[in-house]
Amino acid sequence: MTDSFRSVMRRFPTGVTVVTTVVDGKLKGFTANAFSSVSADPPTILICVNRSARSHPLISQAGRFCVNILRLDQQPIAERFAKKDETDPFATVSYTFAKTGAPVLDGVLGFLDCELAEEHSAGTHTIFIGSVLACESHDGAPLGYFDAHYRDFGCLTV
Ligand SMILES: Cc1cc2nc3c(=O)[nH]c(=O)nc-3n(C[C@H](O)[C@H](O)[C@H](O)COP(=O)(O)O)c2cc1C
């Protein structure tokens, strides 16, 4: 069942984000595509984070996170933030800080800066629901993900 489940989910195209947070001045971020809008009024989103991710306890502790939607040319950033090693991915990217203090990566298509509103445990993951405190969008082409590969969906925001 797990294999057929994965096989179905691979057929669902998504964008790619880097979710960032900050705890005691220390920055953390990881690549995520389990991200969805929940409600526009009030603006609410969700992310699903594996409990084995190092980011998991930090998001809980920080009580805030920022979803950065990557542009097509930011695949190297997605790859860097998906790595499980000790190198600091923030050392190789430029960023500013959102209202919550979480990093906003330069050049992203958009970001949603959130206060953590609810946590729900489900399977191996926790669903973090965020109330959006600030957001911003820019035109450009999105980095896509489909069938376990990064993709160019051939579309632009206008
Ligand atoms: C395209 C892509 C999407 C991913 N989406 C998620 C996700 O939504 N939730 C999650 O927990 N991990 C996701 N991952 C895996 C994490 O990025 C990866 O486990 C990362 O090393 C976690 O970093 P951390 O342990 O430093 O927090 C994704 C990886 C890739 C390449």
Q: Which atom of ligand 1 is nearest to the CA of 35?
A: 8
Which tens digit of pLDDT belongs to each residue from 56-109? 999 999 999 999 999 999 999 999 999 999 899 999 999 999 999 999 999 999
At residue 51, the pLDDT reads 98
**What confidence category does residue 128 fall into, taking pLDDT thresholds of 50, 70 and 90?**
very high
Q: 31 C-alpha vs ligand 1 centroid, how far in Å?
A: 5
> Which of 10-14, 32-36, 154-158 bottoms out in mean pLDDT, i.e. has the lowest?
154-158
Cβ contacts of 3 within 8 Å, gap of 6 or more: none
Closest atom of ligand 1 relative to the 150 alpha carbon? 1
For the whole model, what pTM was predicted? Answer: 0.98
* Of 91, 117, 92, 113, nearest in space to 104 by CA: 113
CB of 20 closer than 8 Å to CB of 103: yes
Quick one: three-class SS letters along 21-77?
A: EEECCEEEEEEECCEEEEEECCEEEEEEEECCCCHHHHHHHHCEEEEEECEHHHHHH
Mean pLDDT of 116-137: 98
CB 82 less than 6 A from any atom of ligand 1: yes
Residue 157 scores a pLDDT above 90 = no
Judge if the beta carbon of residue 48 lies within 6 A of ligand 1.
yes
Q: Report how far ligand 1's centroid is from the alpha carbon of 19 (Å).
A: 9
Helices (H) and strands (E) in the chain, counts: 3, 12
Cα(139) to ligand 1 centroid in Å equals: 25
Average pLDDT over residues 2-30: 98
Of 12, 30, 67, 121, which is best to mutate to test ligand 1, by the most ligand atoms within 8 angstroms of its C-beta?
30
**Beta bridge partner(s), residue 39:** 44
- How much is the pLDDT for 130? 98
Q: Which residues contact 42 (CB under 8 A, 6 or more apart)?
A: 131, 132
Tell me what pLDDT residue 16 has.
98
**pLDDT for 131:** 98
Residue 158 above 80 pLDDT? Answer: no
